[in-house]
Amino acid sequence: MIQQIYITDYLSDAAAQPVEMIQSVIAQCPMLLKAQWKVSPLPPLRALFDVLAVREDGPSDMPVSAVLSARQVWPARPAFCLLPVHLGMRRDTFSLQAVVPLAEAVYAALTERLQTHFADDFVVQQDSSRRFWRVQPVRDMQAQCKWPQDCLYQQAFQWQPQGPDAAVIRQWTNEIQMLLHQAAHSAEAADWPTELNSLWFASVGDIPAWQHEWDAVAGQGDVFDGLQASTLPAIRPLSMAGMLADEHMQQALWVADTWQTCDWPALSNALQAGRISALKLVLPFAERSVEVHYKKQLRWQFWRKSPDLETLLQQLEATLMRSH
């Protein structure tokens, strides 16, 4: 039995275009139209760590960057992740719109420019995913910078760096924007993404203390690899189909970076066969998430009409607009 599935979308690819994701999930797993759908105020990563980490007295910074760093062999833990982003500019302010994927040549060219320009300020290390860099300043930095998924579509004043060295981060960001402008008009700009207009500093926090209540935590992708490297209890090298087939798992959780990698047909078959008594599915939805709650008994309530896909999307969008 699988009870919870989290699509972390840790680089916010699906959060900016959730309709395509929901259409794909429903097409592969039609039984989910019989579930209850609601918009949650938490982005998927925060919701995931809320159930995996031991709760503390106060809210802590997102540990995703620490978990991602755990899967790398580093002589010292980096202070920041640096991500390519698109900022939506307005007359008086700006907001984060997306994390931008880069072509291999663009990533390599930017790496070289960053290493040259900031040689006296910080060390830049490439990540195997080529979606971000790891940054280690040459001196200790006291600055807290949020992970992008917590800041999508919010005005800039809500997510500015905090701490004694926040002004240094802002200065580096301004210099980076000038570098990007120069690079976009240089000889290597043939594959340059037009939406790339800034780089985003995200602090690498501490790995939280983990809870021990799960029978199994399985999954695939960078976040799951990080959880495994940070010794999360109950980690199992299982496929989704394998976990669904195990009837003895009462507290099981599946983690994936993207919806495209999940075995939705296997989940659909398990729902049709009645092997799952309760399911919680968390999907990215703008700067928040959608929680899908399914209970086995609902499939026998034939008098309860399920919404069609278009109606469901309209309801979710309306809820999101009212909550802003």
Residue 38 pLDDT greater than 70, yes or no = yes
- Report the pLDDT averaged over residues 19-38: 91
Residue 299 pLDDT greater than 50, yes or no = no
pLDDT digits (tens, 9 = 90+) for 207-264: 888 988 899 999 999 999 999 999 999 999 999 999 888 878 888 999 999 999 999 9
CA atoms of 222 and 66, how far apart (whole Å): 12
Which sequence spans correspond to the domains of the chain? 4-59+207-322, 78-203
CB atoms within 10 A of CB 59: 9
CA atoms of 283 and 32, how far apart (whole Å): 12
Least confident of 24-33, 142-151, 278-287, 315-324: 315-324
Paired tokens of 76? 């010292």
Please tell me what DSSP assigns to residue 9: -
Secondary structure E strands in 112-247: 122-126, 133-137, 198-203, 216-220
pTM: 0.89
User: What is the structure's pLDDT at 9?
Assistant: 95
Counts of helices then strands in the chain (DSSP H, E): 9, 11
CA atoms of 118 and 122, how far apart (whole Å): 6
Please state, rounded to an integer, the average pLDDT across all residues of the chain: 87
pLDDT digits (tens, 9 = 90+) for 182-210: 988 886 667 889 899 999 999 998 888 89
